[in-house]
Structure 1
Amino acid sequence: MNTFEFSAIYWDLYLNLEADLIKMSDYIAFCDENKPTFSIELLKQLLAIGSEFDIVCKSYCEFLGELSKIENRVQDKHKDILFYAAVFSQERPSIFEEVVQVKVAPDYFTMPMDTWKCNPQEHRNPKLNCAPEWWWAYTQNKHNRNGVISEYAGQEQPLGEKTYKSQYIGKKLFQLASLEHVIDALASLFILEMYYYKDLATVHNIDVTIPQKPSRMFYLLDWETHIVPMYDVVSVNSTLKFERKPSKKDLEIFTK
């Protein structure tokens, strides 16, 4: 898959999801005070974004060459998200630390994947790993929307439950479809697709790491917008001369 195919298959759908959330800014101010706001429209968007995130994660893991290493794969969405975390923690660990600025609300910053905890050696152990908080909200609404959040009754409390549930005790699960969780979900999808696009650009020797139709919703801080090949320099005057074509090993990434 090249960057043009990626844009047609994945990025265009991302932009469609993004447009839906931008419309919400006409009715809900994107600010700290409104983070708990929930609605049917936000629920619809959370379910759509969560599904697409799962799809793109799987494709990206295949691209990174890790999917074939799965043994006894469990067909469970939460377990799948932990597998993706194990892959990214080994191949693209910086993905968890990315900071996103919301363009339609310049004072709004988020690190949507910083709650995505993974122990690569035991990535199936629920006591040592957990998905992002927004993903927890997504799966709760996908599987048990009419429920109420209560204290965990099991003997061994999963890390995700311990991390997220205390602040929501007594609330109905559909209230988790909040503005904060939807923004974080879309921001996570944005980061994921930007990483995927950049890797595709590198493989195909394309120097621009931002899709031709950029995001209108998010800005990724410290993102390297160009990949510039550094060749074997024969002489350096007003003109640079190179003695061979570049290879992938010649790529040095920096911000123009």
Structure 2
Amino acid sequence: MKRFEGKSALVTGAGRGIGRAIAQALAAEGARVLVSARTRAHGEAVVAAIQERGGEAVLAVGDIGVREDMRATVAAAVEAFGGLDIAVHCAADAAMGRMADMDESAFDRQVHANIHSLFWLARDALPALSRASDKGRLIYISSGAANRSFTPGLIPYMASKAYMNAFARGLANEVGHQGVLVNVVEPGLIASDRMREHLSDDFSARIARPFPVPRPGLPSEIAAAVLFLASSDAAYITGTSLLVDGGATMAPIAGIEDQL
């Protein structure tokens, strides 16, 4: 059964990693998908993969940190599909480093990409989402590091994701009467393209060893959470944040158990 037959979706950051998995999962369930990517080659590869499997997808190339690019991306989805039922904001900027050493321009890029874009997407997509036949869905991809854990070297990124969580809760309250549900998915340690650029598979496996589910997560597992929130099964859920981290935030502090 295809849960999203006849529906249209927009996914930012869909050229790689988690965003790519979300776009492909929505398409596999029947949605027509606008693949938003900053790098054309990555986006074209995702569109081609969806089309090869019999799905429908179009590409919009742009940077979520640029106001006009976000406006053009939403407009392209509405023009291509005649409306918009689901918008998933997955794209983000993450510059690693100590705050004392971080260039102001790197911090500013994260503010534009991770904070301003929340407002821009909401402003541009809400008119179309409010016309969706079965409640529009706006889903933000945050991080377990927003409020629940700490990752060294990612302070601006974590702060921007905490902002995202609060923004989504407030927006859900404001637009519920318009027929739009707003929710957040918080991934934990996920074996995405970006993570593998910074951490080896062996090192990630060692980090995950104390987790209740002792392994890194998969992009497809974040996609599954998004599909649930976008489906009719979640029609009474809004303003919430779904943590998908294998129980990482419950993992014991190293050495404590030795003292028991």
Q: Please, what TM-score do these two structures have when normalized by structure 2?
A: 0.25
Structure having greater relative contact order (Cα 8 Å, sep ≥ 6): 1
Comparing both structures, which one devotes a greater share of its residues to strand? 2
Which entry has the higher C-alpha Rg, 1 or 2?
1
Q: Please, what TM-score do these two structures have when normalized by structure 1?
A: 0.25
